């Protein structure tokens, strides 16, 4: 599974988009797959490593950048945050809170 995210030698590495789902400030899913906090850290670290992102920075993004992305929109930290991992950087691309989903329905 993890070997699949590393490119073959000389192969171009495209940006990796990761959707982190939070419930009450805790990451509960990565790309729709339910995970524990430890699994979320491990998965994001592995994917970040493929993009030359340190393990420490990947975990910090999971806990701070992505969490703040949700918190900017509401007082609760529940919803989804789309992170883009690419070339040693992590960018918050989109935030979607549970409150926004309710308004759309």
Q: Which residues pair with 21 in a beta bridge?
A: 29, 80
Structural domain boundaries of the chain?
16-104
In contact, 49 and 90? CB cutoff 8 Å: no
Structure tokens at 80: 């989804």
Per-residue pLDDT of the chain (105 residues; tens, 9 = 90+): 455 556 566 566 789 999 999 888 788 999 999 999 899 989 999 999 888 888 888 888 777 755 555 555 444 568 888 999 988 888 888 777 775 554 444
What predicted TM-score, i.e. pTM, was given to this entire model?
0.72
Question: Phi and psi (nearest 5°) for 80?
Answer: -120, 145
- Angstrom distance (rounded) from CA 47 to CA 17: 10
Q: What is the 3-state secondary structure (H, E, C) of 59-95?
A: HHHHHHHHHHHHHCCCCCCCEEEEEEEECCEEEEEEE
Specify the CATH number for 16-104; select among 3.90.1260.10, 3.40.50.1820, 3.40.50.720, 3.40.50.300: 3.90.1260.10
Q: Which residues pair with 86 in a beta bridge?
A: 89
């Amino acid at each position: 599974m993890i070997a699949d995210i590393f490119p073959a030698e000389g192969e171009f590495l495209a940006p990796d988009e990761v959707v982190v789902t939070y419930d009450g400030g805790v990451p509960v899913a990565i790309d729709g797959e339910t995970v524990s906090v430890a699994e979320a850290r491990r998965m994001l670290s592995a994917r970040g490593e493929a993009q030359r992102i340190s393990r420490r920075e990947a975990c910090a993004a999971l806990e701070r950048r992505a969490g703040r992305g949700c918190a900017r929109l509401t007082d609760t930290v529940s919803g989804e945050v789309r992170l883009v991992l690419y070339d040693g950087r992590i960018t918050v691309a989109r935030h979607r809170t549970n409150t926004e989903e309710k308004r759309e329905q």
